[in-house]
Amino acid sequence: MLFIALEGIDGSGKGTQAKLLCSWLRDKGYSCYLTAEPTDNNIGRLIRKYLKEDNFDPRAIALLFAADRSLHIKDILSKLHSDNMVITERYFYSSLAYQGALGINIDWLEEINSFAPEADIVFYLDIEPEEAIKRMTSLSSFRNTREKESYEKEEFLRRVRQNYLKFAEEREKFNVIDASKSIREVQTDIRRRLGRILSFIEEEKKKGRQTRLEDLL
């Protein structure tokens, strides 16, 4: 079974696409487990609370994310072993991109996350921060965002996006998806790419061969 990560800046559409992808996989007869980081357990809740503070320490946040992930991985592996496809909205790539954009050394971030297995496939939803912020400001909870905050947010997300784009060049697992398109078009693009991988795996299974996913990516 496959371990799929959806990555991208805030408002890029990860949650929306993850749900649609899971229901597509279920229609195809697979079991699908949908999950996200930070998680809903104690450490995940602590992260959400701490992130709301004005002057949170990015290194402390990075360590908390790694701790949350350590628990999350147990859950993910047990779902994969019981024949589920697992889709996670955000994984350790988010830590590298976000805490990296806050000035934390990316090698150190990789080191504290080195226990985390790579995802089989990463769909990176690429979008201009300006566009993503527009989507989020149309949500009621963001209606009161002041202009200055939104400008600072855009600058920050620009740096996060640069990190993601660098990973996309360096890491073969990364599939860049143009997330500025409509929800339907983005989903079609993801399904097309995943569909190719799934048919390859099914073919190999019929031939009794072990799949080398790397050959496809």
Ligand X SMILES: Nc1ncnc2c1ncn2[C@@H]1O[C@H](COP(=O)(O)OP(=O)(O)OP(=O)(O)O)[C@@H](O)[C@H]1O
**Cα dihedral angle (109, 124, 75, 59), rounded to 10 degrees?**
20
Residue of the chain from 1, 30, 135, 200 that contacts ligand X (CB under 6 A):
135
User: According to CB under 5 A, which residues from 75 to 104 bind Mg ion?
Assistant: none
The count of residues interacting with ligand X (CB under 6 A) is 15
Contact between 11 and ligand X (CB under 6 A)?
Answer: yes
Helix (H) or strand (E) holding 202: helix 183-206
106 interface partner picked from ligand X, Mg ion, none, CB below 5 to 8 A per type? none
Applying CB under 6 A, the span of 11-19, 78-86, 108-116, 149-157 interacting with ligand X comes to: 11-19
- Collect all residues with Cβ–Cβ distance below 8 Å to 201 and sequence separation of at least 6: 2, 211, 213
Least CB distance to ligand X at residue 48 (A): 12
Residue of the chain from 16, 84, 113, 163 that contacts ligand X (CB under 6 A):
16
The closest alpha carbon to 46, from 23, 26, 68, belongs to: 68
Distance CA(35)–CA(67), nearest Å, equals 16
For 40, the token pair is 């809903």
CB atoms within 10 A of CB 144: 8
Structure-token match 């099914």, residue found: 202
CA-atom Rg of the chain in angstroms: 18
Distance CA(187)–CA(19), nearest Å, equals 10
Largest CA distance in the chain: 59
Least CB distance to ligand X at residue 176 (A): 15
Contact between 139 and ligand X (CB under 6 A)?
Answer: yes
Residues in contact with Mg ion, shown as a per-residue x/- string from 3 to 42 under the rule CB under 5 A: -----------xx---------------------------
Residue of the chain from 2, 4, 12, 62 that contacts ligand X (CB under 6 A):
12
| Residue 104 backbone phi and psi in degrees, to 5 | -80, 140
Applying CB under 6 A, the span of 6-14, 74-82, 97-105, 194-202 interacting with ligand X comes to: 6-14
- Collect all residues with Cβ–Cβ distance below 8 Å to 215 and sequence separation of at least 6: none
Residues in contact with ligand X, shown as a per-residue x/- string from 86 to 125 under the rule CB under 6 A: ---x------------------------------------
101 interface partner picked from ligand X, Mg ion, none, CB below 5 to 8 A per type? none
| Interface ranges with ligand X (CB under 6 A) | 8, 10-16, 89, 135-136, 139, 182-183, 186
